Amino acid sequence: MTKLSPFHLAIPVYNLIECRNFYTNTLNLEEGRSSDHWVDYNFFGHQLVIHYKPKTEENTHTNAVDGKAVPVPHFGVVLEWKIFKEFAELLKSKGITFIIEPYIRFEGQVGEQATMFFKDPSDNALEFKAFKDMSQLFAK
């Protein structure tokens, strides 16, 4: 497997102050450069930028996965198994409202993984997951 390069992702937020508080104090991400309309974050080694954009009235689309309504679009990071569990506990302790509570998919099978979904204050859906065996990230 080749060494992963950090990705850059810029997402819209309609309340920069509230989202800055969420990403800094709820998710505990390290803040980088910023201006009065955007903020950079160290998103588990990747560059996430929240950019102010006025609110629009769009309905969230979902697709059924394991009988759960998975929001589309969504983004996140694949964490190490232990880090995922610690992060899930941190989020629970901070009162995160989960769209999909942390749970295990494909338990005991190829691709066994933990996953959870929640939204930021501007309705951006995030998914964090972890694979029991990281070498199975793309296993069929």
In the predicted structure, residue 91 carries a pLDDT above the cut 80: yes
In the predicted structure, residue 98 carries a pLDDT above the cut 90: yes
In a domain, 2, yes or no: no
In the predicted structure, residue 1 carries a pLDDT above the cut 60: no
Give the CA dihedral 109, 110, 111, 114, nearest 10 degrees: 20
Q: What is the mean pLDDT of the chain?
A: 94
DSSP H helical segments within the chain, as ranges? 16-21, 81-93
In a domain, 1, yes or no: no
Name the domain count of the chain. 1
What's the confidence (pLDDT) of residue 11?
Answer: 97
For 11-67, what is each residue's pLDDT tens digit? 999 999 999 999 999 999 999 999 999 999 999 999 999 999 999 887 789 999 989
**Beta carbons within 10 angstroms of residue 112's beta carbon:** 17
In a domain, 117, yes or no: yes
In a domain, 126, yes or no: yes
Give the CA dihedral 31, 7, 72, 68, nearest 10 degrees: -80
* 84 in Cβ contact with 134 (< 8 Å): no
In the predicted structure, residue 84 carries a pLDDT above the cut 80: yes
Taking each continuous run of H as one helix and of E as one strand, the counts in the chain are: 2, 10
CATH of the domain at 50: 3.10.180.10
| Residue 100, burial from CB neighbour count under 10 angstroms (0-12, 13-18, 19+) | middle
What's the confidence (pLDDT) of residue 4?
Answer: 84
